[in-house]
Structure 1
Amino acid sequence: MSSHADSKPWTVPALAEAKRNGQKLVMLTAYDAGFARTFDANGVDLILVGDSLGMVVQGHDSTLPVTVDDIAYHTAAVAKVLQRALLVADLPFGADATPERAFEASLRFLQAGAEMVKIEGAGFKLDIIRYLVEREIPVCSHLGLTPQSVLRLGGYRVQGRGDAARQLRDDAAAVVQAGASMIVLECLPTPLAALVTAEVPVPTIGIGAGAQCDGQVLVMHDMLGLDSGHRRPKFVKDFLAEGGSVAGATRAFADAVRAGTFPDAEHAYAS
C-alpha cells in the first residue's frame, strides 16, 4: 500500500500529482455506509456512487431508470463514513441534458458529500463540463462504453475499434480542455487506452481498458463475485475468492491494481 493510502485524505489536485508520480489509483463503487467504510479502510482511493446501482441494487436491466434522488440518497450514506477516499457521484441519465440541470443535480451531490461528479460522453457534454468546472464543481469524464447510451449503441460492447479510435482520442483531449480532472475509460482495446493515458495530463481510470491506465475501477458486486443477474463482462474478476473476506478482497484488488497485475490479458481487450 502506498504511503498516501495511510495518510491524508485524497483531493482533486492530488489525483494529478499521483499520475505524475506514476502512482496507480484504486477505485470501487459503493452505495451504502457499511461497504464504503470497509473500502475506505482497506486501500481504496476513490469511491464512486455509480448509476450502476440501478442494475446491482435496484434490479433494473439498465442504468436508465436511476434518478437524481437515488444518487443523492446513496451519496449521503457513503459520505458519512469516508476518512480518506475521494467521493465521486454519477450524474444519472437525463440529469446532464442541459447545463442548468447538470448544475442543480451536481449541487445536490456536493451538498450530500460528493467531491466530484461523473459525466458520460463528449459532444454537447463538453459545454456542460465547462459550465460545471467554471462553477467550481470538479468533473470526471466517462468515455468509451457509456452505459447510458445503451439504446443507441444497441448493447454493451467494446468501443474505440478501427476508425472510432481517432474520435476517442479527440474526445479525451476535448474533455480535458473543457476542464475534466479525471477520465474513466470503459471497454476499450488496451493499446488505445494506453495511448489516451499517455496523451492526457489527467488520470485515466480503466474498466475493461487494460493495465496501462492510471488506475482501475470495478463495480463492487463484480469485485466480490456476486451474481448481478447480468452477463459477467470479460474484465470482471472475483477478488473475494482470493481475499477470503470483504476487507481481504478489497486489499487484494488494491494490491493488484497498484502492482499492475490487474487487469491481465485475460481481463482486457487486445484490439
Structure 2
Amino acid sequence: MLRTQMFFPISSYQVNWQKPIRHIVKCSNNQRSRQLVKLNGVDGKIAKAPSKTDHHLWNKRDSAASGQKALNLVRIVCGLPNEKEAVYGALDKWTAWESEFPVIAVAKALNILKQRKQWKRVIQVAKWMFGKGQGMTMGTFDTLLLAFDMDQRVNEAQSFWNMILHTHERSISRRLFSRMISMYAHHNMPENIIEVFADMEELGVKPDEDTVRKVVRAFKNVGETEKQQAVLNKYLSEWKYIHFKGERVRVRRRYSWNDD
C-alpha cells in the first residue's frame, strides 16, 4: 500500500507559524505593560506625574479677590474728606479683619487711583502703607514721586528722595532717577537735575535718551556749555543702533544737537 505523502508549500508553512510568533510577542508586550501599570499605579490606574502646584509651600493669592478688594478700597477713600485722620482710620478699618496685610490689593488700588489722577489719594494710601512697613518697592516709590510732582509737592518729593538715596543707594533703578529728573525739569530746577545726574554717574546708572536731553538742557540753562557737550559726546552720539528685521542697523538720530 502506497503512503500518500503530503507536501506543504514553504509560503503556507511560514504563514502558519508567523501568526503564533506575533501573538506571543504581542502577549509579552501586553504582559509587560500590565506589569508597568501595576508598578506605577494603584488598582490598575496609571500614576500621574506630580503637578508643579504640588510643590508650592504657600497657597496662591486669589488675584480676582485682590481686584475686588482694590476697587472697594478706591470707593472708600474717594468718598472720604481730605483729612489724614479720616483716611487712615478708614484704611485701618478696611484691614481690621485681614489675616495678613493685603499688599497686592493696595498696589492695585494705587494703580487705579493713578489712572484716575487722584494724586492726593495716591499720596495718602502710599504713606499709610509705608507706615505699616509694607509695599516699599521701586514701583511704589515711582508712583508716589509722580503723585508728589503732579500735586505740586516738590519739597516732600525731595525729602522722600533723600530717604531713598540713604536706604536703597545701590539698588535704585534708572526709572526712579529719570522720575526725579523729570520732576525737576517740570518745575524748572536745573541745579537739582544736575545733582541727581551726578548721583547717577557716581552709582554707574546709565541714563536713557530722554533723561540725557533734560540733563543737557539743564547744563545749558546754568551756562556750563562744556559739560553740556561732554554729556552729549558720552551718552548721545550722532548715530545709534536699532534692530530692524532681525538685524542691527546703524541710523542717524533725529535729535539735533542745537535743540538744547
Length-normalised TM-score, structure 2: 0.25
**Structure richer in strand, relative to its length:** 1
Length-normalised TM-score, structure 1: 0.25
